[in-house]
Structure 1
Amino acid sequence: MEEQVERLVDKVWDQYKDAPASKRLLVAVSGIPGSGKTTLAAKVSNRLNEKHAQESPGTSNSNPLSAFIPMDGYHLSRAQLDAMPDSTNAHARRGAAFTFDGESFYRLVKKLREPICPETQTLYAPSFDHSIKDPVDNDIAIAASVRIVIFEGNYCSLNKDPWKHAAEMMDERWFVDVDFEVARKRLIYRHIKAGIAANEEEAGKRADENDLVNGQEVVDHRLDVHELIKSQEDAAWAPEEQGVGDGKDSGTQEEMAGYV
């Protein structure tokens, strides 16, 4: 995995160096649930910030070059799911495209596409708080100094409104490809560890009836991508075991929420 990360980091870095100072580079990392897209996106973003710090001595950690924006924050809240005509199904299918606020995501992408100028203000994206099982508005800051934004989520390359409009505004679209059986094993492990399922049977049922159904839609309705990255069945793709982070913005949302 590390070789893939370094290659992608170098690719984005070269584009950043060639881009005008007024432009942000936007990268969308998509894949089915359990593909490892969160792991990859977080690693690339972290490595870009490390590279920036190495090449720009004195750079503050509070002034990162790259921002990592998981799609978890765009889940509809439980209250919004309650208000749907079939609220029981909406909760059971949480993680499907219709249970996300795609329009708000699209609005953020459009704002990030505007040229950076002296008047540019900090923008904010929502995060997801697992203790309350709901999004937290305006929790991830994207300062004017951020030049690279790495998004990750199931639907970042989905060829359906409004997702496709946001996807078409990206400089790079990457898709993390994984065998469904490998993803299913990961999802069962994660659902049990996160307390979403009590045992393997319950976790497998959730994977089969929700996660992998969503995954099939992602595969069947994917836009063309610039990079197709193969996720193998190895420990490097398991952030909860490798310590990629344990905070709500650290890159573990997909694995621990059990939704995206």
Structure 2
Amino acid sequence: MEEQVNRLVAKLWEKYEKTPRSRRLLIAVSGIPGSGKTTLAAKVTSRINALYHDQSPGTSCGNAIAAFVPLDGYHLSRAQLDAMPDPVNAHDRRGAAFTFDGKGFLELVKELRKPLAPETKTVWAPSFDHKVKDPVEGDIGVSPGMRIIVFEGNYLSLNKPPWSDAAAMMDELWFVEVDFDTARERLVKRHVKAGIATDEEAAHKRVTENDMVNGKEIVDDRIPEVHEVIVSKEDEAWTPERQGMETATAPGG
């Protein structure tokens, strides 16, 4: 994985150096549940910021050039799922595309796509609180100085609106590819550890009835013209960069 991360960081840095100062570089990292996309996106964001500080002596350690924005914050809340025509199914399928606020995510991308100007303000995105199992509005700040935005989520390369509309505004679409058996192993362990499933049998049931159903849609209906396909294999490097980022109540990286 390290070789892949290094190559992608070098590619992004080269593009960043050629990008006008009035424009942000937007990258969307997608893949099926359990693919490792969260890990990859977090590592790339961290390395870009480290490189920025290395290349910019005197820059405060608190300043970042890259921001990490996961799709988790756009989960519909439990109250919104309760209000759906079939709330039981909505909760059971939490993590499916219809249980996300795709239009809200599109509006965020539109806002970040606007040219940077002296009057540009910090843009706020929601995060996801894994303890209360609901989004937290306005929790991730993207300041005007953050010119590389790394988005991450299952549906960021889905060839259906509004996801495809957001994808069309990205500078790079990356897809993390993994075989379904490897993803299943990762998800079963994750669901048990996070308390989403009581045991491995229950975890396998959830993976079969929800995660893999979502995964099939993600693969079958993927935008064909992605810029990068990164193969995720079973090794220690594909463990989460930040604990908790892959333990949502619904599929993560």
1:125-147 deviation digits (Å, cap 9, x = unpaired) = 10000110000000000000000
Equivalent position to 2:242, from 220, 241, 245: 245
| Residue 211 in structure 1 maps to residue 211 in structure 2 | yes
Distance between the aligned counterparts of 2:119 and 2:9, measured in 1?
29
Distance between the aligned counterparts of 1:245 and 1:57, measured in 2?
27
| Residue 65 in structure 1 maps to residue 65 in structure 2 | yes
Local SS of the residue matching 1:53:
helix
Distance 1:88 1:257, change over 3 A: closer
Q: 1:152 matched to which residue of 2?
A: 152
Residue 238 of structure 1: how far off its partner (Å): 1.4
Distance between the aligned counterparts of 2:249 and 2:65, measured in 1?
27
Residue 198 of structure 1: how far off its partner (Å): 1.1
Q: 1:17 matched to which residue of 2?
A: 17
Q: 1:249 matched to which residue of 2?
A: none
| Residue 254 in structure 1 maps to residue 234 in structure 2 | no
Q: Is the 8 A contact 1:187 1:258 kept in 2?
A: no
Distance between the aligned counterparts of 1:180 and 1:133, measured in 2?
26
Counterparts of residues 135-174 of structure 1 (less than 5 Å): 135-174=135-174
Aligned residues: 251
1:1-23 deviation digits (Å, cap 9, x = unpaired) = 00000000000000000111001
Q: 2:221 matched to which residue of 1?
A: 221
Local SS of the residue matching 1:254:
coil
The residue identity in structure 1 corresponding to 2:160 is K
Distance between the aligned counterparts of 2:37 and 2:188, measured in 1?
17
Distance between the aligned counterparts of 1:21 and 1:32, measured in 2?
34
1:30-82 deviation digits (Å, cap 9, x = unpaired) = 00000000000000000000000011122223320000000000000000000
Distance between the aligned counterparts of 1:228 and 1:204, measured in 2?
27
Q: 2:121 matched to which residue of 1?
A: 121
CA RMSD of superposed structures (Å) = 0.9
1:174-222 deviation digits (Å, cap 9, x = unpaired) = 0000000000000000000001111110000000100110010000100
Distance between the aligned counterparts of 2:136 and 2:38, measured in 1?
19
The residue identity in structure 2 corresponding to 1:15 is K
Instruction: Give the ranges of 4+ consecutive aligned residues of structure 1 lying more than 4 Å apart after TM superposition.
Output: none
The residue identity in structure 2 corresponding to 1:254 is E
TM-score by length of 1: 0.95
Residue 256 of structure 1: how far off its partner (Å): 4.3
The residue identity in structure 1 corresponding to 2:22 is S
Q: Is the 8 A contact 2:116 2:144 kept in 1?
A: yes
Distance between the aligned counterparts of 1:43 and 1:18, measured in 2?
22
Q: Is the 8 A contact 2:128 2:135 kept in 1?
A: yes
| Residue 235 in structure 1 maps to residue 236 in structure 2 | yes
Distance between the aligned counterparts of 1:255 and 1:177, measured in 2?
20
Identity %: 63
The residue identity in structure 2 corresponding to 1:139 is D
Local SS of the residue matching 1:33:
coil
Q: 1:196 matched to which residue of 2?
A: 196
Distance between the aligned counterparts of 2:130 and 2:102, measured in 1?
20
Residue 245 of structure 1: how far off its partner (Å): 2.1
Q: Is the 8 A contact 2:34 2:251 kept in 1?
A: no
The residue identity in structure 1 corresponding to 2:25 is L
The residue identity in structure 2 corresponding to 1:60 is S
TM-score by length of 2: 0.97
Distance between the aligned counterparts of 2:245 and 2:168, measured in 1?
25
Counterparts of residues 18-167 of structure 1 (less than 5 Å): 18-167=18-167
Distance between the aligned counterparts of 1:185 and 1:32, measured in 2?
13
